[in-house]
Amino acid sequence: MGTPSGSGVRILRAADRTAAVWKNGGGVTREIAAWPEGAGMDDFGWRVSLAEVAADGPFSAFLGIGRTLTLAEGAGMDLTVGGVRRLVDERFAPQDFPGDEPTDCRLLAGPVVNFNVMYRRGAVRARTAVVRGRPALAVLPGETLLVVALEGPAVLERPGGAGSPQDLAPYDAALVTGPLDCLVRTTGRAAVVRFAPTPS
């Protein structure tokens, strides 16, 4: 489908990521997680990354891919997606748009960091939310949840004290495969991305 097999929690540390140049050479990305694990840019079912944009220019196009972009750092971007203007100037507000439409970016006031979710339409559903406080999360069988600390640290806990709490430093992530119940605790903000197979 579009999720790892088995249930559990896997911690993915920001310090372990390597930087890679964009497909079109216009920026730098650090992959957080992808499915299938080890998939390249042409054969992933879903892929989540942090992208550093330091200059104006076009985004890479990905045929058949949906994209959710969340501004994590910086003043924002003035995008033109398929000829339509999209202003992205609010931090931590996920925005959906097609990854295969021609997209041009103009920075509003200097470099930005974007939290970027891409998924293959028709095969995978992906929903991105940004949370704070102490929300409870139920991961159903067949689902995968990715939790990423975007602003400040976060803690991933199991209800009833099952297992040890997992501390997430800024930009650390937890990959949670269901069935499993958990909750996220943060005084900052954390991204929660839920992946599930598209019903056939």
In DSSP terms, 128 is beta-bridged to 193
Does 16-120 match 124-197 in CATH topology? yes
Please write the tens of the pLDDT for every residue from 33-85. Answer: 999 998 888 899 999 999 999 889 998 889 999 999 999 999 999 999 999 99
pLDDT at 2: 44
- Tell me if residue 12 falls in helix, strand or coil: strand
Specify burial of residue 179 (Cβ count, 10 A radius: 0-12, 13-18, 19+).
Answer: exposed
pLDDT at 24: 65
For tokens 């000829």, name the residue. Answer: 83
pLDDT at 4: 53
Report the distance separating Cα 134 and Cα 65, nearest Å.
Answer: 32
- Topology adopted by domain 124-197: Jelly Rolls (2.60.120)
pLDDT at 47: 96
* Domains of the chain by residue range: 16-120, 124-197
Q: Which residues of the chain have a pLDDT value below 50?
A: 1-3
pLDDT at 60: 85
CATH number belonging to domain 16-120: 2.60.120.10
Q: Output the CA–CA distances (angstroms, integers) from residue 70 to 6, 75, 95, 129, 185, in the order listed.
A: 29, 12, 6, 9, 20
Q: With CA atoms as reference, report the closest residue to 32 among 152, 183, 172.
A: 172
DSSP assignment of 18-76: --EE-TTSSSEEEEEEEESTT--TTT-SEEEEEEEE-S-EEPPP-TTEEEEEEEEESS-
pLDDT at 76: 97
